[in-house]
């Protein structure tokens, strides 16, 4: 078989899709300030693993309806459990949204610079992106333009992120409501970083059927490796999401761990969030003292303007400190994204950054 023979069988989408870019060649000793994760696993993990040793029915499919986890999330979110769809990560939740709403050629609106998986997943599902960029420097969403664009034919979905990744900026409650109220589309509010901000659009679900909230256990619950997310929406819509998702897409180990975290570690989560917010303010001050510009942050990471960003990132990598270099991305010239970690780890970052600067 000739080398390129397989090419002719690929779909147009597959031909044009490349793997998601992760930082390559990261040594095991590195401190990762590039993934927006929490610095420690949840306190309950060790007990969870010991209990698992005595009771691990991994030969079974267990509960494909995730009944208990849905009840626990419903309690955490103050909604009914029929409004929850459990997903294999926030990323899979985006895929489910694309599959539920987009036919080939349908449009979705994003507000860049923002999380890249909206465009990746929706384009894999044959959607067409209509970007409405955030206003430069303030990172405010252009709600007028979003509402106007949503009325174009074929627009089905709008993705808002609150707080937004990578700008760490927020959308005020009244702006979110205005967009949900006046747009002719389903509005998804990604609240993966909500705990570091404190406000939510969940109460608006009582008023609007075209609103969906996207969540993940990766950030607030320190479970990025477990791959668990969920959607919150109107009950009828949630039935559709349930029909679209993989019937048993989340592993027994992962959903049991998520249950345990919500049952046993809510106060641990609160402590971690408080620590991160305190460190966020300290790191902002210290980086500002070094002459860098730090955008106001409502998340567990900072967007920082720094001259020669790529060179600095490369030099820090040699010292086992990994930042997320965003400086080659549109709208983000000279910008790096820095995860806020524990006090000791943040001190190491500051020390090594001072050495380089
Ligand atoms: C804004 C936003 N949404 C969703 C996700 C997806 O998170 P996960 O797939 O780990 O659940 C991320 C991950 O970084 C994110 O930044």
Domains of the chain, earliest start first: 23-42+267-356 (3.90.1150.10), 55-264 (3.40.640.10)
What is the pLDDT at residue 4?
64
Q: How far is the CA of 117 from the centre of ligand 1 (A)?
A: 8
What is the pLDDT at residue 136?
92
Q: Is 161 in the pocket of ligand 1 (CB under 6 A)?
A: yes
| Chain Cα centroid distance, residue 316 | 25
32-70 pLDDT tens trace: 999 999 999 999 999 999 999 989 999 999 999 999 999
* CA proximity to 213, closest of 237, 239, 181, 189: 189
Q: How far is the CA of 116 from the centre of ligand 1 (A)?
A: 10
Mutate to test the pocket of ligand 1, among 86, 91, 228, 298 (most ligand atoms within 8 A of CB): 91
Q: How far is the CA of 157 from the centre of ligand 1 (A)?
A: 18
Q: How far is the CA of 356 from the centre of ligand 1 (A)?
A: 31
Q: Is 222 in the pocket of ligand 1 (CB under 6 A)?
A: no
Q: How far is the CA of 4 from the centre of ligand 1 (A)?
A: 35
* CA proximity to 175, closest of 202, 146, 149: 146
271-284 pLDDT tens trace: 999 999 999 999 99
What is the pLDDT at residue 311?
97
- 140 burial type by CB count under 10 A (0-12 exposed, 13-18 middle, 19+ buried): middle
What is the pLDDT at residue 128?
98
Mutate to test the pocket of ligand 1, among 115, 134, 170, 221 (most ligand atoms within 8 A of CB): 115
Q: What is the pTM of this model?
A: 0.96
Cα separation, 202 vs 176, in Å, equals 11
Q: Is 322 in the pocket of ligand 1 (CB under 6 A)?
A: no
Mean pLDDT of the chain: 96
Low-confidence ranges of the chain (pLDDT < 70): 1-4
């Amino acid at each position: 078989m000739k080398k390129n023979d397989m090419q002719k069988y690929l779909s147009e989408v597959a031909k044009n899709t490349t793997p998601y870019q992760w930082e390559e060649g990261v040594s095991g000793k590195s401190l990762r300030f590039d993934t927006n994760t929490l610095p420690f696993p949840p306190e309950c993990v060790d007990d969870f693993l010991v209990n698992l040793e005595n009771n691990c029915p991994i030969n079974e499919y267990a509960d494909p309806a995730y009944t208990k986890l849905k009840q626990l999330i419903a309690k955490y979110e103050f909604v009914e459990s029929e409004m929850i769809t459990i997903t294999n990560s926030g990323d899979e939740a985006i895929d489910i949204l694309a599959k539920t709403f987009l036919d080939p050629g349908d449009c979705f609106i994003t507000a860049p610079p923002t999380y890249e998986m909206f465009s990746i997943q929706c384009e894999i599902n044959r959607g067409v992106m209509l970007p409405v960029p955030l206003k430069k420097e303030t990172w405010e969403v252009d709600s007028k333009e979003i509402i106007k664009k949503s009325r174009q034919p074929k627009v089905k979905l709008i993705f808002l992120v609150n707080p937004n990744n990578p700008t760490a900026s927020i959308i005020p409650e009244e702006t979110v409501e205005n967009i949900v109220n006046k747009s002719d589309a389903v509005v998804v509010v990604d609240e993966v970083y909500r705990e570091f901000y404190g406000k939510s659009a969940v109460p608006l679900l009582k008023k609007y059927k075209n609103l969906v909230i996207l969540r993940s256990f990766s950030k607030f619950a320190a479970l990025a490796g477990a791959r668990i997310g969920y959607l919150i929406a109107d009950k009828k819509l949630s039935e559709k999401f349930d029909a679209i998702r993989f019937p048993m897409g989340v592993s027994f180990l992962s959903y049991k761990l998520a249950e345990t975290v919500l049952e046993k570690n809510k106060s641990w989560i609160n402590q971690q969030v408080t620590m991160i917010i305190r460190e966020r303010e300290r790191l902002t001050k210290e980086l500002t003292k070094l002459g860098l510009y730090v955008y106001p942050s409502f998340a567990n990471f900072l967007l920082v303007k720094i001259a020669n960003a790529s060179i600095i990132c490369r030099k820090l990598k040699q010292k086992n400190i990994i930042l997320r270099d965003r400086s080659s991305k549109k709208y983000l010239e000279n910008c790096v994204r820095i995860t806020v970690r524990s006090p000791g780890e943040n001190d190491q970052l500051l020390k090594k950054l001072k050495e380089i600067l």
